[in-house]
Structure 1
Amino acid sequence: MTYIRPIPMTDPARPAGALTIAGGWCWFSHVEVIHRDAPPMLVPVSDLDDATRHRLSAKRPDFGGLAMDRPRLMGILNVTPDSFSDGGLFLRPEAALMQARKMAAGADILDIGGESTRPGAVEVLPDEETARTAPLIAALREGGLDVPISIDTRKAAVAGAAFVAGATILNDVTALQFDPAMAGVVAASGRPVILMHSIATPETMQVDPHYDDVLLDVYDALAARLVEAEAAGIPRDKLAIDPGIGFGKTLQHNLTLLSRLSLFHNLGVPVLLGASRKRFIGTISAEADAQKRLPGSLAVALAGVAQGMQMIRVHDVAETRQALSLWQAATTGGTQ
């Protein structure tokens, strides 16, 4: 199999014949052609067939009501007692509502979750997870909040209740594989879904994860999940993907994925990057406290934006918004 990775550029000196990546803010004049059994090659876009050129450059459909022509920030709100960096902070309804409204000032999407999926986390019963999330979503909608809300769950019952309460997107860390009923619930709802790559379960995913080639293995797994989702009745224009940084990956696996994220544009759907405060940032920066990993999180977020990632999932919305605004101004030579 041949894998095509556009080499992302943002320089204002764009050569004639260069193409825009996914209708966004990056362009490319060359691609990296990758095979499992041969060295990679650098090839100009003029050598690509029309179908490949279109797949890499075509504007992505709106996702969850948002245009994908600029980076979108997804704010993380965990209403859990045990999430890795903010567990217990927003478990009380009043604290969760206050945090949601604060984040909504800068976030394009709010991602609400009631079950920790940190390494080693144990499963939460659906009724308890629903009790943590659905009333909060309903209260936000009743209060007039109109920002898109995603429900971060792997369980169909939780997703269904969240949709009734007002959630507009599903963010499933298992790409519809944990609960056999999930694909049907999403298809019937008409909601868009983010399919994330992971292996095993949170309890065991960090126990010696192994890949033949992490970049290509994750790509193939997500390609297969897109096919399965479409077969279940979810249209392609309602699908997005997430390579799952930190989910069943070692430090080196994460860095390999981050260095070549633009490969995932070849799947033809929006791509989300979620790396905020994760353990690999603490390892590289020698910062054990997850809440003190903002500088590293910003660096990874901007590295993802530089590769055309359409959605960035973060804990620190206001800080990331400021960093993104400056990055955009500096790379375009003007304000955004």
Structure 2
Amino acid sequence: MTISPAGTEHVVAGLHRPVRRRPRLTSVRVTMLLLVTPSAFLLLLITAYPLGYAAFQSVHDGTLITGGSYVGLSNYGNTLTSAAFWDAAKFTVVFTVVGVFGSWLVGLGLALLLRSKFPGRGLFKVLLLLPWVVPVVVSATSMNYLVATSSSPMPKLFHALGLGSPLFLADPTWAQVTVCVYKVWVSFPFMMLMVSAALSSIDETVYEAARVDGASSWQQFTGISLPMIARSTYISWILMTIFCVNDFPTIYLLTGGGPESSTTPLVVLAYRTVFQDFQVGPGVAIAFVMTLILVVVSTLLYRQIRKATYQ
């Protein structure tokens, strides 16, 4: 019997193919499993039970105390056909888009600025972290002092500039602008840290080679910096999207969702529905719709992370 060269290659390749061995259950592995099991069980209990009970409530017409009768998906149907839900959804989208991309642009600009050396750079970096470090109650109170009434500093400044005396928290449009600006203000330090960490991981020799080839600063930014920090950028977008959609204290402390529900996002609407209107089923249904939206957006951005990693 003769074996062709091609057949010989297949045989040799088969002979040298590594054989995968199943991991052996050693005493060390058993000990590690025994140590992890109580924590994993407790974590599962803390997470799974509330989630399961919330799912139970979303298909019942109960209260905070009683489960009520089974109503199927009518809570979801009533929620998705409610004008209040879609108004809150629209503002949630605006608030999230401005919060994510506004804070990212400001953080990116400051991160690029902090790459250059200048006197007092360390102190400047610490001061830039204050909006994120200061408790939201303190910063929201400060924002209220600046814009709440006609005698506040910002309306006075607008009046001095001949721009009228807008009531930032009484007018629906100005209230939305104020809330979005405040969100960018308290969120840009997080984005700045994420971008700074990503930029610091880029080898300087890449920029030196680009300068030798005659690349301008803009070409270095678009051709080197942005592609190299893409993975970190998508991660920060995912996190900030979750932060914005679930941001209850910012809205509640500044406007309470008003005026005329113009600054009511889905998270505040869910809170009002459950704890003020005592409609537990519809309120929990709103929360589950929010969760579904976050899962979809996070999945789409995660795919971009994988693409950036492979590239």
Give the structure with the larger strand fraction.
Answer: 1
TM-score bracket for this pair, using the shorter chain length: under 0.3
Higher relative contact order (CA 8 A, sep 6+): 2
TM, length-normalised to structure 2: 0.27
Give the structure with the larger helix fraction.
Answer: 2
TM, length-normalised to structure 1: 0.26
